[in-house]
A and B are shown apart, each in its own frame.
Chain A
Amino acid sequence: MKTLRKLGSAIAVATVSMGMTAGALAEEVNIGFTGPLSGGAALYGENVLSGIKMAAEEVNAAGGIDIDGTNYTVNLIALDDGYSPAQAATNAKRLKKESGVSAVFVPHSGGIFALQDFNEKDDFLIMAYTSVPSVTQKGNELTLRIPPTFDGYVTAFTDYAMKHDGKKLGMGGATHEYAKIWAGMMKKQWTAEGGEVVADNPMDYNKSADFYTGVSRIISEAPDVMFVGGASEPTGLVVQQARQLGFQGSFIVMDQAKLDEVAEVAGGLEMMEGAIGVVPLSVYETKPAQDFIKRYKAKYSKMPGSEAAYNYLAMHALIEAMDKQNTTEAKALRAGVPEALKSMDDSKNPYEVKEVDAGGGFITETTLAVVEDGKIVQKPIE
């Protein structure tokens, strides 16, 4: 039954998008997306896309936007790059050439770096969904970074773990580009604060068949804290296997993984007692966040993660900027998004992001949550 319904909706989507292309001749403004929609990271790409899509559909349902007196609807064009930077670059070129997009959403650092080579020349805005600090430090004038950078987390997590759990750290992070940069900063920070890294054994979270060997290697060095994290689900397996092998300490969870999603795979929050990570969206109690969760659940019947929420608000800000600036010109949008964030309705802004720094990074408060007695508890950062 469920299958039939899904099949039905797939056909419906296909028909609707065909209808949209037919109407594309006149008043449509195109916005691009390139990200993993197949392969091991497909879920992540789909989650990002779901937020962007939801914003676009809300705008269209409310009658679209006005640019210079003409009414436009938003047309989102999503291409699959399978997490490959080279494919992301090809996709971006294609989006620009074939559809004349003025902005492209990219949810992975490799793809973002690849696009930054030519986006200023080709004149499109990169909506970058990555926490790697350097994407907005290299002076690219047409990049907006949506989530907070992770350097804030590194210090906050280290401080908390040192104070509560101990000085010995076992590194069991992932091996993709993003995780490597994270792990490098983590290690530096940990030793700078007088801690000791007793084991350094990164594992390929996306391609490993099993983590038992890697995890037992780390545990044999008896760390107090274990650094873990790639995508939420494999991270859950790592946590579960560490506990099975008798690890009693706590975890520092890299921001790519969300505590609630990790717990689902690991076998419940009890398995993660003491784990330190970013505050999952589900724990936010503000009205805009709760409202967003409710609408998202009604639409997709699942709990949204931060990637959906951040991209949702970024898409809204981008569309609002087009409306306010009366243009789809990339430079004007880059300048218009910060104002749009300030002026747009809170219901479109689940994280209540209000400002953008000079480099193009959205300014969000760094948050920290700890699993205590089987619950995710937000903690102040000292």
Chain B
Amino acid sequence: MNLFFQQIINGMTLGSIYGLVALGLTLVYGILHIPNFAHGALYMVGAFMTYFLMVDIGAHYWVAMAGSAIIVAIVAVLSERLVFHPLRNSPPIHDKIAAIGILLFLEALVQMIWGADFRRISSPYTGILNFDGLIIPEQRLLIIVGAFVLVAALQLFLRKTMTGATIIAMAQNRDGAFLVGIDANRVAMMTFAISGILAAFAATLYAPINLVYPAMGHVVIMKAFVIIILGGMGSIPGAIVGGMIIGFAEAFGGFYISTSYKDIIAFGLLVVILSIRPQGLFTKGAH
């Protein structure tokens, strides 16, 4: 029975990280209709910024997390201002090419500065909780709790604040939003900033139990794209539920069937869900 619960914990840990990364991706897609391939690179930059702040500056874990979130938010906003905004009237393919360009640029830049070495971030939470054989390292618990808190905070922001409402309005109807005088530039920058913050938080939460290196974004961004297609492009609940579905599929499939098949199970699930609901689990729009 313990093994079963162990897999639930594993699934929730993975699902939380995937969900956070997918959330940023889906927000940007929902509002600007840009598949931001560079999102995985933002996640990677987030981990490196935390590493830099903790190791080179000596900041505390939480301070480093906040600092990293600010820096990545700025990078994300800059990418919107300097790259996506000038391309707003071009064919969609230009956005995609530009996104891949940003991805390659950020990866090469980080590798040039820090090298290709694998690095580790140590978190202050290294203890291991043992509930009668069910083992939960503190950092994994922190990931799950952290993800829930962030999702709740995002919901509050979108529902209870005026700025949040403008983002939702843009997602629901672009023209309508313009008609009531919502500033598209502001919303676009805000959305990119939020996606950057989420990516940095996800990376900082996950990095202590993983490795930090320039190519670390590839693994999660692939999953994040699957998740937002699965959950419905642009849907916030879709990203969260999709993240959990993929996380649990990997944990349970990997344990009860075979680790070599865990990706096949996750992608198989995608095929099945899309053939039943081609538009994704949830309809489009940040409701």
Contact = CB atoms under 8 A, between A and B. Distances in A.
Contacts of B135: 244-246
A6 B17 contact: no
A3 interface: yes
A3 B220 CA distance: 27
B258 A207 contact: no
B260 A213 contact: no
A6 B260 contact: no
Interface string A170-182: 0000010000000
Given A38-B215, A46-B115, A214 B3 contact: no
Interface residues of B, number: 41
Interface stretch (B81-89, B105-113, B163-171, B180-188): B105-113
A211 to B, nearest CB: 9
B259 A40 contact: no
B28 to A, nearest CB: 22
A297 B117 CA distance: 16
A40 B210 CA distance: 13
Nearest to B122: A267
A46 B10 CA distance: 34
Contacts of A299: none
Contact of B215 (A39, A175, A202, A245): A39
A216 B6 contact: yes
Contacts of A214: 254, 259
A207 B258 CA distance: 16
Contact of A213 (B107, B118, B223, B250): B250
B157 interface: no
Interface in A1-44: 2-3, 6-7, 10, 37-40, 42-43
A174 B258 CA distance: 13
A203 B3 CA distance: 19
Contact of A38 (B14, B111, B250): B111
B176 interface: no
A43 B118 contact: yes
Given A2-B56, A216-B255, A175 B260 contact: yes
Nearest to A207: B219
B101 interface: no
Contacts of B108: 38
A270 interface: no
Interface residues of A, number: 35
Interface string A194-215: 0000000111100111101110
Given A40-B215, A209-B223, A220-B3, A7 B10 contact: no
Given A2-B56, A7-B113, A42-B116, A210 B215 contact: no
A363 interface: no
B152 interface: no
Contact of B214 (A42, A207, A217): A42
A209 B116 contact: no
A35 to B, nearest CB: 12
A353 to B, nearest CB: 27
A300 B82 CA distance: 37
Contacts of A115: none
Given A201-B258, A216-B255, A43 B116 contact: yes
Contacts of A216: 3, 6-7, 10, 255
A290 B107 CA distance: 35
B108 to A, nearest CB: 8
A213 B251 contact: yes
Contacts of B17: 209
**Interface-centre pick from B3, B118, B128, B210 (highest chain A CB count, 10 A):** B118
Contacts of B6: 212, 216, 245
A208 B219 contact: yes
A307 to B, nearest CB: 13
A360 interface: no
B218 interface: yes
Interface of B: 3, 6-7, 10, 13-14, 17-18, 56, 107-108, 111-118, 120, 128, 135, 137, 209-211, 213-215, 218-220, 223, 250-251, 254-255, 258-260, 262
14 contacts: A7-B112, A38-B214, A38-B215, A43-B115, A43-B116, A43-B213, A175-B260, A204-B260, A208-B219, A209-B17, A210-B209, A216-B7, A237-B210, A244-B135
Given A3-B113, A213-B10, A217-B254, 13 more contacts: A10-B112, A42-B214, A43-B213, A203-B260, A209-B18, A213-B255, A216-B6, A216-B7, A216-B255, A233-B118, A237-B209, A237-B210, A265-B120
8 tightest Cβ-Cβ pairs between the two chains A and B = A42-B116, A233-B118, A214-B259, A213-B254, A43-B116, A40-B215, A212-B10, A213-B251
